[in-house]
Amino acid sequence: MTTSMALDSSALGEAQAVRRPVRWHIAVFLAPALLVYTAVMVLPLVETLRLSFFQGADAQQAFVGLENFRRLLGDERLAFHFWNALRNNAYFFAIHMAVMVPLAILLGALLSLPRLRGSGFYRTAIFMPTMLSFVIAAFVWRLILSPLWGITPNFLQAIGLGSWFTAYLGKEPYALTTLGFISVWKELGVPMVLMYAAMLAIPNEILEAAEIDGITGIGQFFRIKLPLLWPTVGVVAILTFVSNFNSFDLIYTSQGVSAGPNYSTDILGTLLYRTFFGAQLQFGDPHLGATIAAMMFLIILSVVCLYLFFVQRRLVRYQL
């Protein structure tokens, strides 16, 4: 009986397949994006992961299993650099979360005030740095902060804080924090626009209802607008996380390949570059470099998964 049923259903399936023509256009329309994405993203990623399980020069590559990972985490020197970079990266991300997100919400809230004059100008001005290349941003800030020719020492002197100035980018305790602020300055534009858009999307009826209930001003912001912004904050957080843990250009262009002083600004991206391509007299090690890249991929993947499964589900979305 079961066999006859199976036969029946397969016959039914065949009949349906015959009736419905193959929809080639779907494949054709998907092909360009799929091919390009596979060629420039998926294949390099797979090749990177493959490299991390091998050792040896081009011709005599040998599969070594997890040996590279064991070395990265087991070898005293490599482990020091890896954890140092990971710690710095986490700190770099923390600066963004602590400074950039509140700032983006604040600016979004200010810009969406109906009576603010010249809001278009501010919006453009604050968005400007986002459009700059990192090379230019790093160069400009190096000049601004230069103790020899920069404007910062004189500026701080003029407002009576001359003693606060020091070689911010050259001293171990300050360099990474300074770079974090520069990065926030540069990256602020997109989160600000996202927050701004989310605030504009709040219907006036809700705010009017709140006013009727006696909630106005600051209270209105904290009790009505902010809860409606949490999903956007979540998106900004995860985007910032991914971009921070892939970050490389700002540190490389302002601090050089060894992420000085004394590796205090070394993040995973610069460590990967230095290991993969080598530095002055250091020959590169593509396999160990690929191992670091694989670790970066794992870290980002696991955090994004955690976010998707545990955080995003709990964010309350209101039907507006």
CB 82 within 8 A of CB 295: yes
Residues 269-308 touching another protein, rule: CB under 8 A, are 277, 279-283, 285
Judged by CB under 8 A, the residue of 166, 208, 216, 306 near another protein is: 166
Determine, following the binding rule CB under 8 A, whether residue 249 of this chain makes contact with another protein: no
Instruction: Break the chain down into helix, strand, coil percent, rounded to 5.
Output: 75, 0, 25
169 belongs to the binding site for another protein (CB under 8 A): yes
Taking CB under 8 A as the criterion, the residue among 172, 208, 211, 213 binding another protein is: 172
- Asked if 71 interacts with another protein (CB under 8 A), we say no
DSSP state, residue 22: P
Task: Specify whether the CB–CB gap between 279 and 263 falls below 8 A.
Answer: no
Q: Which stretch binds another protein (CB under 8 A): 1-9, 24-32, 170-178, 216-224?
A: 170-178
Q: What is the four-CA torsion angle of 66, 70, 71, 77, rounded to 10 degrees?
A: 150
Rounded Cα distance between 281 and 272, Å, is: 17
Residue 84 engages another protein in binding (rule: CB under 8 A): no
**Cβ nearer to another protein, comparing 131 with 148:** 148
Given 119, 146, 243, 312, the residue binding another protein (CB under 8 A): 146
Residue 171 engages another protein in binding (rule: CB under 8 A) = yes
CA dist list (Å): 90 to 85, 94, 296: 9, 6, 12
Nearest distance in Å: CB 249, another protein: 16
- 11 contacts another protein (rule: CB under 8 A): no
Whether omega for the bond prior to residue 261 falls within 30 degrees of 0, making it cis, is: yes
- Token pair 């002197």 is found at 157
Question: Which CB, 145 or 199, lies closer to another protein?
Answer: 145
Residue tagged 């002083």 (tokens): 261
Q: What residue ranges bind another protein (CB under 8 A)? A: 76-77, 142, 145-149, 153, 165-172, 256, 258, 260-263, 277, 279-283, 285
